[in-house]
Amino acid sequence: MAKKVESTLINMILSLVLISMTMSAALGFVYLKTKDPIEIASKQKEIEAIRQVLPEFDSDPLANKSEQEGVVVYKVTRQNQPVGFAIKTFTDKGFAGNIEIMAGFLADGTIHNVVVLNHKETPGLGTKMTEPKFSDQFNGKDPDDFDLRVKKDGGDVDAITAATVSSRAYCDALQRALTTLNTLNDTNSAQ
């Protein structure tokens, strides 16, 4: 018959250390096995979002990107001719926190399309910013002639009924994208 191990503080500590080391090794193994597939899936998701906001292109947008204050700008081309810029931007002014969007600007500066990547807005209200009825009003607009503020604030954007805060936040994120694009263009023109 096996002898019972006495329960002492040292035995308990050794048992916890052994369990912790085993679980840490297992977690490390799983991380190493899933790191590359997760990274590949993340890149594919980003490229797909870029494809949604810009016309067809043949360049690798991930190879020609820049970041400024948390806003990522992807320059894309087709047959070495500029197509436009996809800009991954954000705002923290949403009703329920951060909103992340991908905005596509053509080479002439007009907005081609905008998609919401991430948000936590109120279902049935703020979530309507993902619907074409709201988001399509930006397509084809030149930000020089289209004020990216809701009409209630003197702009040209039709806000979502009962979700003005979400509408303002969407506009804020889009304005941040435009400001970043203009800053990069000014920097490149000065060089």
Q: What tens digit of pLDDT does each residue of 121-140 get?
A: 989 899 999 999 999 999 99
Taking each continuous run of H as one helix and of E as one strand, the counts in the chain are 3, 5
57/147 Cα distance (integer angstroms): 28
Residues with Cβ within 8 Å of 82's Cβ and at least 6 positions away in sequence, in order, are 75, 76, 107
Cβ-contact 83, 55 below 8 angstroms: yes
pLDDT higher at 6 or 152: 152
Q: What is the pLDDT of residue 149?
A: 95
Q: What token pair was written down for 61?
A: 């947008």
Kindly tell me if the per-residue pLDDT of 54 is higher than 60.
yes
Distance CA 150, CA 165 (A): 10
- Quote the pLDDT of residue 164: 93
Over residues 71-99, the pLDDT tens digits come to 999 999 999 999 999 999 999 999 998 99
pTM: 0.79
- Three-class secondary structure of residue 59 per DSSP: coil
Residue that has been written with the tokens 């919401």 in this structure: 116
| Residue whose entry in the numeric block shows the structure tokens 């969007």 | 101
CA distance 23 to 35: 18
